[in-house]
Structure 1
Amino acid sequence: MPHLLHVPALAHTEYAYVATVEPPARLVFAAGACPLDADGATVAPGDPVAQARQVMANLETALAAAGARLADVVKTTVYVASPERADLVAVWQVVRDAFGDHDPPSTLLGVTVLGYPDQLVEVEAVAAVPAP
């Protein structure tokens, strides 16, 4: 459904710079997926990579509830509560691996703090699926 555009005039990146969605489409806006288990507890305190894995599993579950998949995502924003670029890169790799060959535009941010105790990672997404 989404059409991802790589822009040769810009630096080569691991994601498309632009995504377009053609009508008829239904947009799905996912809240930031957090590293919470089914009981609402933050998993893997202190481990951004393990938290990123939980976040991506939770994102897949949330999208599925709306009839969408990771392959339908047209934009993500990845938040990592760390001043260390290495943590951002490690989380990014988990996110990229979860998407496989699908490489939607994304923004990766290092932030000071996230909403839940011990939370280090959050990923929000917009997806597009065929309209009914």
Structure 2
Amino acid sequence: MKKTGYEHENLKVTPWFHWGLNVEDAREFFFVTGQCDFDKNGVTKCMNDPVGQTRVILEQIEQTYTQAGYKRNNIIGINWCVTKGVTEEQTAEILAVWAEFIKDVEVKPAGGIWKRIEGLIHPNMLVELELTLGR
């Protein structure tokens, strides 16, 4: 699979994603459904901490896609969902966590929609992420 990222002359270049992404010769796709910091026992590791929740979610997501033989370089898209209580400062920190997570990814994925919503399915959840991977 070959990925080519594209920027836009009127939009800021970011370390988080490309404004456009062309994917060639992908034969398989892997969709990681929305995940939150909320385990099978209903435990949230990082209560009231959206940045910590993001770290936990990325660890969980990586455990999920590696089971199918995918790697970080296979990430082609991300969708974000945060609750309205997540501040602009915390948003910047969440993006810094994501930038660190993909720092060694040669071609950054396409950024999906960043949704700021009233709440997720459980009040402890502040962040939900989903990824699309291809190879």
Category of TM-score, reference length = shorter chain? 0.7 to 0.9
Q: Does 1:120 align with 2:123?
A: no
CA spacing shift, 1:24–1:119, aligned 2, 3 Å: closer
Task: Tell me the SS of whatever aligns to 2:28.
Answer: strand
Gaps of 5+ in 1: none
Q: Secondary structure at the match of 1:59?
A: helix
Alignment partner of 1:93 out of 69, 92, 96? 96
Shift of 1:119: 0.6
1:71 aligned onto 2:73: yes
The answer to whether the Cα contact below 8 Å between 2:7 and 2:13 also exists between their aligned partners in 1 is no
Unaligned runs of 5+ in 2: none
Tell me, in whole angstroms, the C-alpha distance in 2 between the residues paired with 1:52 and 1:68.
20
Choose from 112, 115, 118 the match for 1:109: 115
Q: Is the 8 A contact 1:2 1:21 kept in 2?
A: yes
Distance 1:22 1:80, change over 3 A: same
**Percent sequence identity over matched residues?**
21
> By how many angstroms is 1:50 displaced?
0.7
CA deviation string 1:47-106 (max 9, x = no partner)? 111101001001101111222122211110111113422222221211121111432111
What TM-score do you get using the length of structure 2 for normalisation?
0.83
Match of 1:30 in 2: 32
Deviates more, 1:46-55 or 1:82-91: 82-91
Measure the CA separation in 2 of the matches of 1:24 and 1:70.
Answer: 15
- SS of 1:56's equivalent in the other structure is helix
Distance 1:22 1:58, change over 3 A: same
Q: Could you say which residue in structure 2 is the equivalent of 1:48? A: 50
Which is further off, 79-88 or 25-34?
A: 79-88
Q: What's the Cα RMSD here?
A: 1.9
Where does residue 58 of structure 1 map in the other structure? 60
Query: For the residues of structure 1 that align with 2:24 and 2:111, how far apart are their CA atoms?
Result: 19
Q: How many residues of Structure 1 are paired with residues of Structure 2 in the alignment?
A: 129
